[in-house]
Amino acid sequence: MKSILALEDGRIFHGTGFGAASDRPPGVTIECSGEVVFNTSLTGYQEIFTDPSYAGQIVVLTNPEIGNYGTTALDDESARPYIEGLIVREFSRVRSNWRADSTTDNYLKRAKVPVLAEIDTRALVRHLRDRGVMRGVMASSTAEFDAHQVAELVAKARAIPKMDGTDLARVVSTKASYVWDGGGAPPDPTREAVQAARVAALAAHGGKVLIPGKPLRFHVVAYDFGIKRNILRMLHESGCRVTVVPAETSAEDTLALKPDGVFLSNGPGDPEPCTYAVEAIRGLLGRVPVFGICLGHQLMGLAFGGRTFKLKFGHHGGNHPVKRLATGRVEITAHNHNFAVDPASLPADVELTHVDLNDGCCEGMRHRSLPAFSVQYHPEAAPGPHDSHYLFEEFVKLMEGR
């Protein structure tokens, strides 16, 4: 299939359709629309696909070949892919990895995610870097696109609601509370089979099965604004029994669960419309230790009395250097965010703890007197690979101190 990306500024990219865009009837089919962002990670494409923080976005991957190691259910960060569409230079239709249970093409086809390949992704990324992220439409056709069709697609791109002012956290959040038991999130009937396959595969290749070695000493309530499974694993392996609650859960309902600590998750969209979450966080500060990541960090910044703003093209990748101000140590970190906390807007009782060495962005903060801290990046994504795992230990120490 012939596929096309039409950006709101009129820039057009032509390529070939895969995934959900590989088999369509004659005529033009609009595959997806959303904000177009780029990610510079070299690996981990399946984790990117299934990160709920990408809801509403078409993702361009800068690594030239994507899909070559296939996919496995064990690497999903959520129940399904959340990206609107995928754009790559070269898309592999074969898999070459002992862990794979599907080709990437079939995986995305089942999830109804379209792929645009065989375009100059370097030119597209430079365009987004120079002009900022913008809205776009992906479409496919059995014939060449004519000028009228292209103009219509550009008009549709301009009509897409902007990410600014859009609350997506409540859209991707769980609808009901559940206790995470170390399996899927939320639990599903195939979990036992997946775990058994994981144990068997690791044992067959001489690997060790990771079993949490710490007793579950603390009860953590985790707000699901688009939570990733590896965050839940990290909390679990740090000795926490985790209850996941919907994004709109009030402070009173959370405290009624008698938590030792509260975790604020990552998620998509603009933090400022999430007034319900900001209100809940303000009701929790000082009453229980609070730890936030990504969107949770931005929401905590708003709860502290600060402001947030939208970055020109966001931070999306697994290679961002972040300096920990207390030690001067530099961590290699994973990022996925379009918004950031304005450090100049934070009150005097909140201190900056981490900064991005690429652009000076606020990457971490801590309240000087209350047990509350947060980071903008993803310590659970492990690009370092263990540079940032101490943050979960610090959360546990706060709960021990209480």
Sole residue written with tokens 């966080």: 281
State residue 209's pLDDT score.
43
State residue 198's pLDDT score.
52
Q: Catalytic amino acids?
A: 294, 378, 380
State residue 369's pLDDT score.
97
State residue 46's pLDDT score.
97
State residue 185's pLDDT score.
42
Q: Report how far residue 197's alpha carbon sits from residue 87's, in angstroms, rounded to the nearest whole number.
A: 31
pTM above 0.75, yes or no: yes
DSSP output for 274-330: -HHHHHHHHHHTTTS-EEEETHHHHHHHHHHT-EEEEEEEEEEEEEEEEEETTT--E
Which parts of the chain register pLDDT below 50?
184-192, 194-195, 207-212
State residue 189's pLDDT score.
39
State residue 273's pLDDT score.
97
Contact between residue 6 and residue 157 where contact means Cβ atoms under 8 Å apart: yes
State residue 183's pLDDT score.
56
Question: Average pLDDT of the chain?
Answer: 91
State residue 208's pLDDT score.
43
Contact between residue 30 and residue 137 where contact means Cβ atoms under 8 Å apart: yes
Pairing of strands 134-141, 29-39: antiparallel
Contact between residue 15 and residue 119 where contact means Cβ atoms under 8 Å apart: yes
pLDDT digits (tens, 9 = 90+) for 23-55: 666 777 888 999 999 999 999 999 999 999 999
Question: What residue ranges define each of the domains in the chain, with the CATH number in brackets?
Answer: 2-158 (3.50.30.20), 169-401 (3.40.50.880)
Strand order in the sheet with 240-246: 178-180, 240-246, 218-224, 261-264, 290-293, 372-375, 362-367, 350-356, 307-324, 330-342
State residue 28's pLDDT score.
77
Contact between residue 48 and residue 70 where contact means Cβ atoms under 8 Å apart: no
Phi-psi region of 304 (alpha: psi -120 to 50; beta: other; left: phi over 0): alpha
State residue 119's pLDDT score.
95
Helix (H, G, I), strand (E, B) or coil at 253: helix
Q: Report how far residue 198's alpha carbon sits from residue 204's, in angstroms, rounded to the nearest whole number.
A: 10
Q: Report how far residue 12's alpha carbon sits from residue 20's, in angstroms, rounded to the nearest whole number.
A: 20
